[in-house]
Structure 1
Amino acid sequence: MNRSKTNAPSPSELKTVGFTPFLYLSDQPLFHVCRDVPVADALAQASDLLFLAKSLTIDAAYVQDSDRHAWAAHYLTTMSKALIDDVVKVLTRRSVQTRKEAAPSKNT
């Protein structure tokens, strides 16, 4: 069944798939990205988390005994990476679907 390009979701309608785990304990993920978060919101949140992580790493570079800064930055970047990886899964899946739709059908 071919979907026309008009039926493909617009970028503003794309949402996270929720398959991406992060922060493991004994090979078990403690957390996952939530599904159905709008992609734009997920990327905005990742940007905010990365901004905070950057600020903490700058503080850690200048402050002695700054382990708490380093660990906080580590967790923030881990969460950010999971959000971005989940968005990439959505965009990659959409790209594959679009290529399949654009390919000529064997039945025509």
Structure 2
Amino acid sequence: MSKTNPSTPTDLKTIGLTPFIYCSNQALFRVSRDVPLGDALAMASDFLFLAKELTKDAAYARDTDRHAWAAHYLTAMSKAVIDDVVKVLTPLAPPARTKAESKK
């Protein structure tokens, strides 16, 4: 389970709240929880590299769209991983200020 206040950034892990690839308005896949953020970002980087290469192939292969669809799914997966990481790294809301703090 993810720690709420990890001692170091290397202890941070995905929270698994981000869905991707929808069928009939329902998420077919979701990012897994408890994956170390460094590993998750490395995988997203790999997905994006492959998607970039596939889009170059798609630009030259006029007889098929399989390269474009593969790139589409890889970018959806990459975005979901990055969005899940951002949810871990971004605080939900700043703490509320008291009246005394507001007058300072």
For Structure 1 versus Structure 2, the TM-score category normalised by the shorter chain is 0.7 to 0.9
CA distance in 2, matches of 1:17, 1:9: 17
Q: Where does residue 20 of structure 2 map in the other structure?
A: 22
Q: 1:31 aligns with which of 13, 19, 29?
A: 29
Q: From the two aligned structures, give the one with the greater helix fraction.
A: 1
CA distance in 2, matches of 1:8, 1:44: 20
Give the percent of matched residue pairs that are identical in Structure 1 and Structure 2. Answer: 66
Shift of 1:10: 1.3
Shift of 1:11: 1.1
Q: How does 1:1-108 map to 2 (within 5 A)?
A: 8-93=6-91, 100=95
Shift of 1:48: 0.1
User: What are structure 1's unaligned runs of at least 5 residues?
Assistant: 1-6
Cα distance change of structure 1 residues 65 and 9 upon mapping to structure 2, 3 Å threshold: farther
Q: Which amino acid aligns with 2:53?
A: S
RMSD over aligned Cα, in angstroms?
Answer: 2.0
CA distance in 2, matches of 1:58, 1:24: 25
TM-score between the two structures when normalised by the length of structure 2: 0.82
Aligned residue pairs total 94
TM-score between the two structures when normalised by the length of structure 1: 0.79
- SS at 2:90's partner residue? helix
Runs of 4+ in 1 over 6 A off after TM superposition: none
Q: Are the equivalent residues in 1 in contact too, given 2:6–2:12 (CA < 8 A)?
A: no
CA distance in 2, matches of 1:21, 1:28: 9
CA distance in 2, matches of 1:72, 1:57: 9
Shift of 1:8: 4.3
- CA shift digits 1:44-98 (9 cap, x unpaired): 00000000000000001112123000000000000000000000000003x85xx
